[in-house]
């Protein structure tokens, strides 16, 4: 979630803008204070629930606020600097069994748009249950559900009640059924946790804004200052980074922290989710003019990490730190389990779009310098960006290459629903979150009623049913890649070395471990490539002649001769076909 101007219009941060915050409070808490607050805040939660329910019936009658949560994303993602010729990843030794998320493939779902089960035109929990077999066949073993709480908006990032589910999506019993059905299939479920702000219609803020003496007044940030991020309220201006409908919570108030810790405990312990995607993590606590990734934010997340691990050691959190690469991800170590690697995402998409290895090789150079063991989350695009095939101007062959890049790389991959069939979508945000295209029937098989938003016009040709029948479809490639990732551990947790190729149109990496070596080779260009030469300058492989076997098809490749653990001048194939990916096992 990134900044939007008031009324939901997208904007970027203005250079040199400063925030004048209320007087700084030294932010320190011991770990046992969290426990004390938790005990005392049981009563706070009960009071909050009663207070919330009195207000919710009225609040749901208000008009939806159709806003997004990230800046407008250009068609071409930001460029990545040029890399060193080769980079090797050396994985840190594992002292304990790998956490479950290191073997996961996540599937991101916007519940409203995935599958409607009752004909009201809005996707719901029972609709997801109906499609769990599809998700399992895709090879995903974990779900990230975008916000599921009551909200006045279609997207849900302005929460009204953290202890309830959006009634448009079903009941809490429906959600529990989804958890049970998913877990029975070995599928984990995490949900969006919006810590940074609430809805301006949340009962806490309504009371805080109504009365300057409200017990919830200090749960938000108030000042007489004006300017960016400040919005007129009753008795002063309140701070809302994204827009006036999303007032920021004041985490310098220990009661706020205790309340959100109780929310976290409730969903992990009482409901049974497997973790959270932390929305807008970098914006939690400002320090003067510094409005992101502050020391106070890091200190807060350190204690939050300790707290949620004390509730459930296997709970997983992945932080949205918009624009982050591996270097910034290291700053959140011991604070979240993962950070999304936006730098790699840009590299993947830029290289495919530009038909050059510069973007992705540069991204690997920086990533491997800071994190060599793949301990981050990867993706192509998400719900805040133009869909990947739209960035690639509808080119399905390029979309296939992007899929190969994502699913043969280190890190925990996240697939945005519909990406696996090439669903199109450009901003505004509603149009990158359209109904899932299941078949060519009316409304794409999403609903028997009137959909909350019409599916993209391409659904009659681009849909799951059609692609399931086509062995060469994008969907079946995704299924093959997730299967290879499951069958070959080296693709999940092996080391990565970027190979020299002698041609900017050729991308080549070696995934290697003590038990297996796999070569990934891609022609990024739309024309055949004859002039290329692969080189491994570091002593990695065992000496001798290695047979090279395709894991994707029946392609016959030349053997590879290794001397001193290295090789130069290797050409597995005389010709690399246009927009073609090859995955070879070395033996």
Main-chain phi, psi angles of 307, to 5 degrees: -65, -55
Element (H or E) spanning 493, and its range? helix 490-493
DSSP 556: B
- Pairing assessment for the beta strands 222-223 and 188-193 based on DSSP bridges: unpaired
Could you say which of 261, 279, 292, 419 is catalytic? 279
Q: What are phi and psi of 165, to 5 degrees?
A: -110, 155
Bridge-based pairing state of the strands 567-570 and 534-536: antiparallel
3-class state of residue 183 by DSSP: helix
The two three-digit tokens of residue 262, written as one number = 């109780």
Helix/strand/coil percentages in the chain, nearest 5: 35, 15, 50
Q: What is the DSSP string of 163-213?
A: TS--TTT--HHHHHHHHHHHHHTT-EEEEEE--SB--TTSHHHHHHHH-TT
**Helices 474-487 and 396-407: angle between axes, nearest 10 degrees:** 10
CA–CA gap between residue 346 and residue 394 (Å, rounded): 18
Q: Helical H runs in 235-339? A: 254-265, 295-311, 326-331
Angle at 415 between CA 409 and CA 417, to 5 degrees: 165
DSSP labels, 398-445: HHHHHHHHHHTSSSEEEEETTGGGT----SSGGGGSPPP---SSGGGG
Beta carbons within 8 Å of 178's beta carbon, 6+ residues apart: 125, 126, 128, 129, 189
CA distances from 441 to 175, 384, 465, 474, 518 (A): 28, 28, 10, 20, 42
- Can you read off the two tokens belonging to residue 162? 């953290």
487 among known catalytic residues: no
Whole-angstrom distance between the N-terminal and C-terminal Cα of the chain?
A: 45
Is 517 a catalytic site residue? no
- CA-CA distance, 475 to 532, in Å (whole number)? 30
Q: What is the torsion angle, in degrees rounded to the nearest 10, for the CA atoms of residue 303, residue 305, residue 308 and residue 309?
A: -120
> How far apart are alpha carbons 389 and 40 in whole angstroms?
50
Q: Which of 261, 320, 343, 500 is catalytic?
A: 320
Which two three-digit tokens encode residue 119? Answer: 């004909």
CA dist 204 and 148 (Å) reads 19
Q: 3-class SS at 218?
A: helix
Residue 248: C-alpha distances to residues 55, 70, 155, 362 (Å): 20, 16, 18, 36
Alpha carbon distance 408, 511 (integer Å): 8
Q: Residue 10 gets which letter from DSSP?
A: B
Active site residues: 279, 320
């Amino acid at each position: 979630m990134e900044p939007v101007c008031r009324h939901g219009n997208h904007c970027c941060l203005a250079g040199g803008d400063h925030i004048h915050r209320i007087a700084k409070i030294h932010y320190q808490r011991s770990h046992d204070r969290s426990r004390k607050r938790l005990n005392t805040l049981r009563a706070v939660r009960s009071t909050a629930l009663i207070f919330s329910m009195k207000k919710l019936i009225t609040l749901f009658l208000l008009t939806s606020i159709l806003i997004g949560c990230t800046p407008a994303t250009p068609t071409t993602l930001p460029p990545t600097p040029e890399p060193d010729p080769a980079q090797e990843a050396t994985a840190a030794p594992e002292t304990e069994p790998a956490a479950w998320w290191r073997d996961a493939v996540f599937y991101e779902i916007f519940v409203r748009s995935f599958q409607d089960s009752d004909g009201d035109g809005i996707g719901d929990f029972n609709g997801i249950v109906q499609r769990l077999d599809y998700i399992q066949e895709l090879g995903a073993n974990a779900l990230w559900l975008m916000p599921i709480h009551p909200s006045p908006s279609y997207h849900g990032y302005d929460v009204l009640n953290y202890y309830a589910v959006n009634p448009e999506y079903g009941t809490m019993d429906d959600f529990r059924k989804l958890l049970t059905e998913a877990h029975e299939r070995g599928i984990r479920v995490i949900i969006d946790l919006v810590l940074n702000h609430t809805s301006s219609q949340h009962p806490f803020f309504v009371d805080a804004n109504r009365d300057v003496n409200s017990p919830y007044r200090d749960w938000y940030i108030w000042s007489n200052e004006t300017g960016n991020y400040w919005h007129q309220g009753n008795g002063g201006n309140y701070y809302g980074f994204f827009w006036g409908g999303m007032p920021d919570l004041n985490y310098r108030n220990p009661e706020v922290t205790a309340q959100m810790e109780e929310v976290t405990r409730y969903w992990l312990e009482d409901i049974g989710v497997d973790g959270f995607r932390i929305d807008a993590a970098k914006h939690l606590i400002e320090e003067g003019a510094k409005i992101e990734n502050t020391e106070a934010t890091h200190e807060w997340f350190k204690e939050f990490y300790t707290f949620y691990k004390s509730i459930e050691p296997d709970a997983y959190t992945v932080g949205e730190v918009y624009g982050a690469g591996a270097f910034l991800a290291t700053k959140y170590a011991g604070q979240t389990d993962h950070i999304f690697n936006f730098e790699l995402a840009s590299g993947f998409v830029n290289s495919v779009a530009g038909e050059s290895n510069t973007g992705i090789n540069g991204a690997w150079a920086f990533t491997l310098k800071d994190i060599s063991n793949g301990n981050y989350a990867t993706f192509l695009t998400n719900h805040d960006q133009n869909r990947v095939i739209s960035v690639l101007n509808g080119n399905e062959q390029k979309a296939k290459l992007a899929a190969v890049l994502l699913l043969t790389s280190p890190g925990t991959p996240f697939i945005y629903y519909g990406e696996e069939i090439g669903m199109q979508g450009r901003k505004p945000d509603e149009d990158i979150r359209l109904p899932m295209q299941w078949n060519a029937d009316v409304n794409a098989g999403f609903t028997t009623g009137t959909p909350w938003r019409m599916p993209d016009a391409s659904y009659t040709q681009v849909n799951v049913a059609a692609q399931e029948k086509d062995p060469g479809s994008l969907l079946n490639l995704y299924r093959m890649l997730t299967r290879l990732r499951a069958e070959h551990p080296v693709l999940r947790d092996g080391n990565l070395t970027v190979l020299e190729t002698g041609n900017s149109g050729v991308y080549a990496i070696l995934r290697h471990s003590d038990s297996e070596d796999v070569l990934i080779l891609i022609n990024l260009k739309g024309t055949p490539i004859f002039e290329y030469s692969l080189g491994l300058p570091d002593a990695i492989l065992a000496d001798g002649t290695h047979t090279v076997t395709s894991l994707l098809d029946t392609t016959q490749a030349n053997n590879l001769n290794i001397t001193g653990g290295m090789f130069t001048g290797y050409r597995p194939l005389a010709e690399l076909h246009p927009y073609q990916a090859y995955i070879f096992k070395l033996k």
